[in-house]
Amino acid sequence: MAGNAKSVVVLDYGFGNVRSAERAVARTGARVEITRDLDAAMNADGLLVPGVGAFSACMAGLRAARGDWAVGRRLAGGRPVLGICVGMQILFSRGIEHGQESEGLDEWPGTVGPLEADIVPHMGWNTVRPPEGSRLFAGLDADERYYFVHSYAVHDWEFAAHHAVRAAPKVAWATHGRPFVAAVENGPLWATQFHPEKSGDAGARLLTNWIETL
């Protein structure tokens, strides 16, 4: 391993596919560690926040591990964070599941709600419409497919100019029933609703694009 390889911590707070994320990041050539140690999370070049299961449970687990503090402190210092699946959803203001509302990290305004589609969950491969100038999707063809498995999503992007504390976000969209937010790039904070670690060569390229920004 090269001595100057970037370091990435996969935050282990009990609600993510940490092993598959670790393997996928390691394939990029980065040094990767699975841990809930806050010093390691703060000092790594990049912090990856995975997430599976319910929004409220993920938030409770994140808070119990003080991962919410680590994410907030890193972003306040302009340090890169990547959220995946529910790890992306909890970055929004709130989630609504089974009629119950839970507070998120509120890095972006917006509500995570049930998918509005005939078939739920959305499970399998789908294309994504990346924004112009995207660094996350750089070098990837428009017809590339990415692996999704989720029953909830953000359907309405509510970010406005007065919310801006970082670079204006670039938002990618996908459609299952109706369009939903598939990925966001916002200064040091990036996130994907799909699983790049399960998305084959396209996902590997996407993770490499993130590592190259660290």
Q: Report the candidate in 156, 146, 50 with the shortest Cα–Cα distance to residue 96.
A: 156
Catalytic residue among 22, 107, 144, 197: 197
Q: Please report which helix (H) or strand (E) contains residue 63, including its range.
A: helix 55-64
What the block records as the tokens of 31 is 């040094």
Place of tokens 């972003």: 75
| Tokens coding 200 | 């084959």
Nearest alpha-carbon partner for 49 in 84, 92, 91, 75: 84
Quote the CA–CA distance of 138 and 179 in Å, as a whole number: 22
Active-site hit among 22, 85, 144, 150: 85
Q: How far apart, in whole angstroms, are the C-alpha atoms of residue 28 and residue 115? A: 32
Residue 107: closest CA among 41, 166, 174: 166
Chain mean position to CA 174: 15
Judge whether 205 and 139 are in contact, CB under 8 Å: yes
Residue 58 designated active-site: no
**Do residues 20 and 51 touch, judged by C-beta distance below 8 A?**
no
* Residue 104 token pair: 């998120």
195 catalytic per annotation: yes
Q: Please pick, among 122, 155, 176, 195, the residue that the annotation labels catalytic.
A: 195
**Residues annotated catalytic, as ranges:** 85, 195, 197
